[in-house]
Amino acid sequence: MTSSRPRTLSTSEERRETVLRTAVDTFASRGYYGTTTTEVATRAGISQAYVYRLFPNKEALFLAVVAHAYDLVRDSLARGAAAATSTAPLDVLYAMGDSYARLIQDKNLMLIQLHAQAAAVAEPAVRDAVRAGYARVVEYVRSVSGATEPEVQQFFATGLLCHLIVAIDADHIDAPWARALSAGIRHF
């Protein structure tokens, strides 16, 4: 039986997006060093050669994943800023933090950021990508919130603490050290 609908071929940009989404999940589970392009290709349902047609090497693919992650963070912060109940800097930061806390419910996004930070120690191109991602996000938060530099620094320090709390489930541990780390930090 033949379908009456014409078959729609994927464009290279659609395939690129599919590979990117698949790579996020794959790199999140195994990190930069533990992931191969073969794994990404297999999960995406395409050949490794096609992955290499879209991304020249594993590093380029990972750098695209890192940039994508920071785009998602930036978009989340923008949604938060738009939802702020006032233009007071701390209110805007609170709304941004709330939106980000919702975003990292997808632990893969958080894991990509953590893996990128770990790989940045030894991989100059990854370091540059993480720096560029942070530069863009910090400048966005600074300019949109109107917060002071110490307030922006505190905002990002709290975000990094959120990563730790979520990574080790500290908010589910009833112990003094876990309560000290988790106090006042909201999670979803």
Span 96-109, average pLDDT: 91
pLDDT at 128: 98
125 pLDDT above the threshold of 90: yes
Q: Which segments within the chain are labelled E, that is strand?
A: none
Closest alpha carbon to 42 in 23, 59, 64: 23
Please report which confidence band the pLDDT of residue 153 belongs to, taking 50, 70 and 90 as the band edges.
very high
Answer yes or no: is pLDDT of 10 > 70: no
Q: What are the φ/ψ torsions at residue 84 (nearest 5 degrees)? A: -60, 140
Rounded CA separation 17/140 (Å): 25
What pLDDT does residue 37 have? Answer: 94
Q: What secondary structure, in 3-state letters, does 70-82 show?
A: HHHHHHHHHHHHH
CB-based contact 114:166 (threshold 8 Å): no
Query: In the predicted model, is pLDDT for residue 36 greater than 60?
Result: yes
**Torsion of the alpha carbons at 56, 57, 61 and 67, rounded to the nearest 10:** -80
Find the farthest-apart pair of alpha carbons in the chain and give their distance in angstroms, rounded. 67
In Å, what is the CA distance from 36 to each residue of 27, 43, 59?
Answer: 9, 11, 10
Q: Is the pLDDT of residue 188 over 90?
A: no
| Average pLDDT score over residue span 49-69 | 95
Amino acid letter, residue 21: R
Q: What is the pLDDT of residue 13?
A: 82
Instruction: Look at residue 159 in the predicted model and tell me its pLDDT.
Output: 92
